[in-house]
Amino acid sequence: MKSLVNDKPNLFNIFYLEAKTETLRLFRTPGFSIPTLLFPIMFYTFFGIVFSMNPATMPTYLMITYAVFGVIGPALFSFGVGIAIERGQGWFDLKEVSPMPASAYIVSRVSLTFIFASLIILLLFAIGAMFGDVRLMRWQWIALALIFVLGSLPFCAIGMTLGLYLKSNSAPATVNLIYLPMGFLSGLWLPINFLPEIMQQFANLLPPYHLAQLALKITDMDLGFPVALHVSVLAAYTLLFMFLATKAYHKKDKQ
């Protein structure tokens, strides 16, 4: 009896070990951990606090948008760049033939994204509260953190698709080319109403814009569109890219 039970693989343990090793690996890859942690913090300190145009609202507003910027970074990079590189090195194939369930691979990367996202959120909240005089109700702080963490999911899907399509040597550059302009155009660097009208219209197509609007609703700083719109756009993006990722995965198998 005892051996039978032990022979059954403990799914949670697999998930945990995979996530732990991946996390360790990423923390030991300064090329990933330092920019993803540092960029949002640096930009926020710079634009949101030191050169804040309006000390009353800007630190709060930009803390939220840079947190969005911060959480989509690890999602795009750990999935997009990570998978592309592992495919290039053949590591991805090795994992595929290992007895580890495929879900562990995804779960570990999602939890990795959550861990990095949480770190960024905690750092930004601490800086905002200490140096930007950001004052929010307890529920607002918590709701924001939850929105940010869960809001990284659509970007995990986008990252996964990118990782499966892109070539390993071009992936970091391509992901950066998507990440940075998308952040800017979605009004994550500067408040969206500072951008020209036409760019504001265009932002409607971009998922970070919708995540930011959702979060800004918590502090009553959003543009006033319904929650359902933002949620459904984000959900649509998630589904679309999950579908594309599955397609890419099967296409890869046939090659």
Partner 1 sequence: MKIKILAIIICIVLFFMFLPEPTLEKTKTKSGSTELQKNGPSQNFIIRNVRFYDGNRLFNEVDVSIVDFKVAEISNQLPAQKEFAEIDGAGKTLLPGLIDSHTHAFQSALEEAINFGVTTELDMFTMPEFANDQQALRDRRSNTQSADLFSATILATAPGGHGTEYGFDIPVLSTVEQVSDFVDQRVEQGADYIKAVYSSDKSKIKYSPSISREILAALIESSHRRDRMLVVHVDDLVSATEAIELGADGIIHSFMDKVADQSFVELMVSRKAFIIPTLSVQASVAGLTNGTKLLSSLANTDYLTRQQRSQLTASFPNFGIPAQGFNNALESVSRLAKAKVVVLAGSDAPNPGTTHGLSLHGELALLSLAGLTNEQVIHSATGAVSKVFPVGRRGRIESGDLATMVLVNGNPFQNIEATKDILQIWKNGVAYVRKTYDDAVNPLQKIENGLITDFDQQEGSVFNRVKIGKGLAETTDQFAGGKSTVAISLKDKIGSGQAATNHYLHISGELRSGFMFPWSGVAYMLGESMQQGVELTDVKYLVLDAKGGSQTEQISVLLFQAGSLSPIQVDVKISSQWKNYRIDLDEISNLDRKNLTNISIVRAQQLGKFEFMIDSLKFE
Residues near partner 1 (CB under 8 A) are 16, 54, 56-57, 118, 122, 125-126, 129, 134-138, 141-142, 145, 220-221
Q: Which is nearer to partner 1, 102 or 137 (CB)?
A: 137
Residue 56 C-beta: closest distance to partner 1, Å: 4
Closest CA to 242 of 114, 125, 156: 156
Q: Which is nearer to partner 1, 135 or 250 (CB)?
A: 135
Q: Which is nearer to partner 1, 33 or 118 (CB)?
A: 118
Quick one: tokens of 194? 């500072």
Residue 53 C-beta: closest distance to partner 1, Å: 8
Q: Which is nearer to partner 1, 58 or 211 (CB)?
A: 58
Q: Which is nearer to partner 1, 65 or 161 (CB)?
A: 65
Residue 224 C-beta: closest distance to partner 1, Å: 8
Residue 87 C-beta: closest distance to partner 1, Å: 31
Residue 58 C-beta: closest distance to partner 1, Å: 9
Task: Find out whether 105 and 32 touch, Cβ atoms under 8 Å.
Answer: no
Q: Cβ atoms within 10 A of the Cβ of 137, count?
A: 10
Q: Which residue has the tokens 């959480």?
A: 71
Q: Which is nearer to partner 1, 54 or 255 (CB)?
A: 54
Question: Can you give the three-state secondary structure of the chain, one letter per residue?
Answer: CHHHHHHCCCHHHHHHHHHHHHHHHHHCCHHHHHHHHHHHHHHHHHHHHHCCCCCCCHHHHHHHHHHHHHHHHHHHHHHHHHHHHHHHHCHHHHHHHCCCCHHHHHHHHHHHHHHHHHHHHHHHHHHHHHHCCCCCCHHHHHHHHHHHHHHCHHHHHHHHHHHHHCCCCCHHHHHHHHHHHHHHHCCCCCCHHHCCHHHHHHHCCCHHHHHHHHHHHHCCCCCCCCHHHHHHHHHHHHHHHHHHHHHHHHHHHHC
Residue 61 C-beta: closest distance to partner 1, Å: 9
Q: Which is nearer to partner 1, 142 or 229 (CB)?
A: 142
Residue 142 C-beta: closest distance to partner 1, Å: 6
